[in-house]
Amino acid sequence: MKYYIISGEASGDMHGANLISEMKKLQPNSEFRGWGGDKMENQGLTLIKHYKELAFMGFAEVIMNLKTILSNIKFCKKDILEYKPDAVILIDYPGFNLRIAEFLHENNIKVFFYISPQVWAWKQSRVKKIKKVVNHLFVILPFEKPFYEKFDYHVDFVGNPLLDEISNFKKAYESEDFRANNKLDERPIIALLPGSRTQEINTKLPIMLSVVEKYPNYQFVIAGAPSQGEEIYHSHISGDKQVSLVFGKTYPLLMNSYAGLITSGTATLETALFQVPQVVCYKANSISYAIAKRLVKIKFISLVNLIMDKEIVKELIQIDLTSEKLAHELSIILEGEGRINMKNSYTNLITKLGGEGASKKTAELINHYLHQN
């Protein structure tokens, strides 16, 4: 079987790699071609474009890079037709992938969509299009299946792949001396995860760093994104700030952290699964935020709160993301009842996410649906 896979960001590359690994167990002679990253390539994907070339965040940024995006879509369509896959697997990245799905439907190419577009947050009208152009949709959040059922659309809930990823990491993690290897002292660690995109880092990292001097009994460690160089981080770290920087060690960092200041997105759920109390930080381009505020129809921005349908972690959004408020919320989770309650809620969250095996279940379902037809 020949598969074309499209993932447009780091998290999708991770989930795509795990999916390819499971599919190869079921279909050892399968071929994989597409868009992703190093992890998918290491699993045998013939990599056509790296996700680093595709990461445009926010409405304003998309408009500014529209010519490049349209060129990528055109190239992708041509490459798929020339490759002639048995099926195409689209992983998240909805702005791009839904356009491709429509094209595939028109050309009678089977479409599997792994990790649902967040249509429950905004543009619910997209459900009609998804029903039409996607043959099978695999969702990873427990509230997504009943959401789609309201539109008379059957989807498969496969569990959340982060459970597998983090479980596998913990099993393989060697009790290395993380502190010694990264020149850290014995003070409790507060992890800073400012995001992976340039504009995210430049917007949020300075605010995160502004609270460092208020907590001399803790050490702050930045999780550097593999797609970025050291320069962008050092440009925000003044000489008098004792802040450390590690690259490609986000999971080891969370494993050893006492608390975290985390940018909104998948990282909030990863932090919760490592049982690290956190404050969620979100600040975007003012134009992008103004548009999003009009369109988005959700009560929370963090996956932790969305899954639990109540505020488990504090979200500091846009003008609320200030040094003073960040310090206040951080103090609440460093000790006492606020910290205990958050960790207890994390336990309930893990139960609600279901069991492990999302990648395996998805691979088995793809195999089943293909042979069924």
Statement: residue 145 has pLDDT above 90:
yes
- Mean pLDDT on 302-321: 94
Per-residue model confidence as pLDDT tens digits over 218-268: 999 999 987 788 889 988 887 656 899 999 899 999 999 999 999 988 899
d(CA 158, CA 68): 34
Per-residue model confidence as pLDDT tens digits over 176-216: 688 999 999 999 999 999 988 888 899 999 999 999 999 99
Return mean pLDDT, the chain.
90
pLDDT at residue number 63: 59
Statement: residue 285 has pLDDT above 70:
no
Superfamily of chain region 168-352: Glycogen Phosphorylase B; (3.40.50.2000)
- Mean pLDDT on 282-297: 64
CB 140 within 8 A of CB 306: no
Say which residues have a Cβ less than 8 Å from residue 13's Cβ, sequence separation at least 6. 7, 36, 37, 38, 39, 40, 51
CB 189 within 8 A of CB 257: yes
Statement: residue 370 has pLDDT above 80:
yes
Statement: residue 149 has pLDDT above 90:
yes
Whose tokens are 């992976």? That residue is 196
Rounded to 5°, the CA angle 246-251-253 comes to 45
pLDDT: which is higher, 69 or 66: 69
d(CA 354, CA 142): 8
d(CA 24, CA 36): 17
pLDDT at residue number 34: 97
pLDDT at residue number 283: 87
DSSP 111: E
Torsion (CA) 342, 345, 350, 352 in degrees, nearest 10? -150
Bridge pairing between strands 243-247 and 314-317: unpaired
Domain with CATH 3.40.50.2000 in the chain: 2-159+357-372, 168-352
Per-residue model confidence as pLDDT tens digits over 19-37: 999 999 999 999 999 999 9
Statement: residue 60 has pLDDT above 60:
no
pLDDT at residue number 50: 92
- The answer as to CATH 3.40.50.2000 being correct for domain 2-159+357-372 is yes
d(CA 284, CA 317): 9
- Mean pLDDT on 75-81: 96
pLDDT at residue number 156: 97
CB 262 within 8 A of CB 304: no
pLDDT at residue number 341: 96
pLDDT above 90: percentage of residues in the chain = 68
Statement: residue 272 has pLDDT above 70:
yes
SS3 at position 350: helix
CB 263 within 8 A of CB 194: yes
d(CA 97, CA 111): 10
Statement: residue 154 has pLDDT above 90:
yes
Backbone angles phi, psi at 82, to 5 degrees: -70, -30
pLDDT band at residue 124, thresholds of 50, 70 and 90?
A: confident
pLDDT at residue number 273: 96
CB 138 within 8 A of CB 156: yes
Q: Where are the beta strands (DSSP E) in 8-53?
A: 31-36, 46-50
Whose tokens are 């809930």? That residue is 157
